[in-house]
């Protein structure tokens, strides 16, 4: 037997057994052709990237004569950038010390590092139902036992959360209180307060993932869990939706003892996050008013969300329920019980419309009738045409299923 077939027979580590490839990345391969109107991606709108501003800040750095911008750096991240992040939290009324901020390779790496630091096989983790696919994947590598808790219109079901926390003693709860991915749902003030009350004084960390909080196009900002229980809250943030995703710049805010562990995990993973892009984003934040830029993004996504809701109201049968996000990039539809969203996907793609069926957002693998629709990357006319086509397929399936 040659050595390559020996190698193929060699057993891989159990860690990745049963952890699927990202379902969305697979779907995007089908949805990529130009004739498809795609509500499937989760991408920020590239037309809004601050290309010229970044180019000018990069030029400034590159011609500064400071050769350290291209050198290895410390694990925690560039202090100038960490101070800027702390200042942004201060503007929201949250007191975060730069020493408690770790710069990561996107918030996706934050999820991986937290999983490494906290999860032993079989440990229990509360996750929203439906939950963020990227977190389900990152956590699954470490083989936890998920406790899915349903989302209601105003955030997680706090009765079910209290039951889960009391009966199952989870180590972590992973929540996205602002414009959740995939549902677009935001937690009300009362739900946030209640969640904090339930978690307070238990041996439990609450991971608050907030990639979309700044992209608000309706309503008023609401307090973070960090406002209520700072010592038990770990915050995840990112520049992916407010500046650009390509730089892969995110961060974790964590208490001192958690930070110590995270730094070890980060060193083992990659020593530190790309130093040049840290310097570049810091330079950009110094040279330009990012809040102005965020306001432009929010206005645009607000218009796109409005168009999608108008199209849904005009075309979808009344049996289809949908969320009305106040920010972010997604809304969530619930079809009549007997319509299978995977089948709807297969039929819609024949009509050149794509979306993400709800399946990968559930840890209990149900046969589902829910779908995620992204509105940030389509213009008004595409939105109307895409929703109209989708509604035709839904109506056909409803007629077949009576």
Ligand X SMILES: Cc1ncc(COP(=O)(O)O)c(C=O)c1O
Q: CB 182 → ligand X: shortest distance, Å?
A: 8
Give the residue at shortest CB distance from ligand X. 106
Give the footprint of ligand X on residues 349-378 (CB under 6 A).
none
The least CB distance from residue 125 to ligand X, in Å, is 15
Q: Which of 42, 131, 358, 386 binds ligand X (CB under 6 A)?
A: 42
Residues 326, 216: contact at Cβ < 8 Å? yes
Cα distances (angstroms) measured from residue 386 to each of 176, 203, 356: 28, 47, 14
Q: Which is nearer to ligand X, 238 or 369 (CB)?
A: 238
Nearest to 389 by CA among 324, 305, 303, 312: 312
Task: Find the part of the chain contacting ligand X (CB under 6 A) among 23-31, 139-147, 238-246, 342-350.
Answer: 238-246
d(CA 250, CA 238): 4
Relative orientation angle of helices 275-287 and 51-62, to the nearest 10 degrees: 110
Which token pair is 163?
């039951």
CB of 14 to ligand X, least distance (A): 26
Q: Taking the complex as a whole, how short is the minimal distance between the CB of residue 208 and ligand X, in angstroms?
A: 10
Pick from 41, 50, 130, 134 the residue near ligand X by CB under 6 A.
134
Q: Which of residues 76-95 bind ligand X (CB under 6 A)?
A: none
User: Which one of 100, 108, 278, 359 is in contact with ligand X (CB under 6 A)?
Assistant: 108
Q: What residue ranges in 27-159 does DSSP mark as E strands?
A: 37-38, 101-105, 124-129, 145-152, 155-156
* Token pair for 352: 């050149």
- Report the residue from 183, 191, 240, 369 that binds ligand X according to the rule CB under 6 A: 240
Q: Which is nearer to ligand X, 105 or 391 (CB)?
A: 105
Residue 328's nearest CA partner among 152, 197, 182, 114 is 182
Radius of gyration of the chain measured on its C-alpha atoms: 22
For ligand X, the binding residues in 165-194 under the rule CB under 6 A are 176, 181
Minimum Å gap between C-beta 43 and ligand X is 8
Q: Is 238 in the site for ligand X (CB under 6 A)?
A: yes
Name the residue nearer to ligand X (CB basis): 42 or 50. Answer: 42
Kindly give the pairing relationship between strand 155-156 and strand 172-175.
unpaired
Nearer Cβ to ligand X, position 209 or 214?
A: 209
Task: For residues 361 and 370, give the distance between their C-alpha atoms in angstroms, rounded to a whole number.
Answer: 10
Summarize as ranges the residues that interact with ligand X (CB under 6 A). Answer: 42, 106-108, 132, 134, 176, 181, 209, 211, 238, 240, 245, 250
């Amino acid at each position: 037997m040659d050595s390559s077939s020996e190698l193929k027979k060699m057993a891989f580590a159990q860690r990745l057994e049963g952890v699927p490839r990202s379902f969305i990345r697979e779907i995007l391969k089908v949805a990529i052709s130009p004739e498809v109107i795609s509500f499937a991606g989760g991408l920020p709108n590239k037309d809004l990237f601050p290309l010229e501003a970044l180019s000018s800040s990069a030029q400034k750095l590159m011609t500064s004569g400071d050769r350290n911008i291209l050198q290895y750096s410390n694990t925690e991240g560039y202090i100038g950038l960490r101070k800027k992040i702390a200042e942004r939290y201060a503007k929201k009324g949250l007191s975060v010390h730069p020493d408690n901020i770790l710069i990561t390779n996107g918030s996706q790496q934050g999820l991986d590092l937290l999983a490494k630091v906290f999860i032993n096989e079989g440990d229990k983790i509360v996750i929203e139902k439906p939950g963020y696919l990227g977190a389900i994947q990152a956590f699954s590598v470490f083989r936890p036992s998920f406790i899915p808790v349903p989302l209601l219109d105003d955030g997680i079901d706090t009765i079910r959360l209290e039951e889960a926390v009391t009966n199952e003693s989870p180590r972590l709860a992973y929540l996205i209180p602002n414009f959740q991915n995939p549902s677009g749902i935001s937690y009300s003030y009362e739900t946030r307060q209640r969640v904090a009350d339930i978690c307070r004084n238990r041996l439990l960390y609450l991971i608050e993932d907030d990639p979309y909080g700044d992209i608000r196009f309706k309503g008023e900002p609401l307090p973070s869990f960090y406002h209520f229980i700072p010592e038990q809250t770990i915050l995840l943030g990112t520049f992916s939706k407010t500046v650009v995703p390509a730089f892969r710049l995110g961060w974790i805010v964590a208490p001192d003892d958690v930070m110590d562990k995270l730094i070890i995990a980060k060193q083992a993973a990659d020593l530190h996050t790309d130093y040049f892009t840290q310097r570049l984003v810091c330079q950009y934040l110094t040279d330009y008013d990012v809040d102005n830029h965020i306001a432009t993004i929010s206005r645009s996504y607000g218009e796109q969300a409005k168009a999608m809701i108008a199209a849904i109201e005009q075309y979808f049968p009344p049996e289809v329920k949908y969320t009305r996000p106040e920010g972010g990039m997604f809304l969530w539809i619930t079809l009549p019980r007997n319509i299978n969203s995977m089948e709807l996907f297969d039929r819609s793609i024949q009509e050149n419309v794509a979306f993400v069926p709800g399946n990968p957002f559930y840890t209990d693998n149900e046969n589902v009738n829910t779908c995620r629709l992204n509105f940030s990357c389509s213009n008004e006319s595409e939105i109307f045409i895409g929703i109209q086509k989708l509604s035709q397929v839904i109506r056909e399936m409803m007629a077949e299923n009576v």
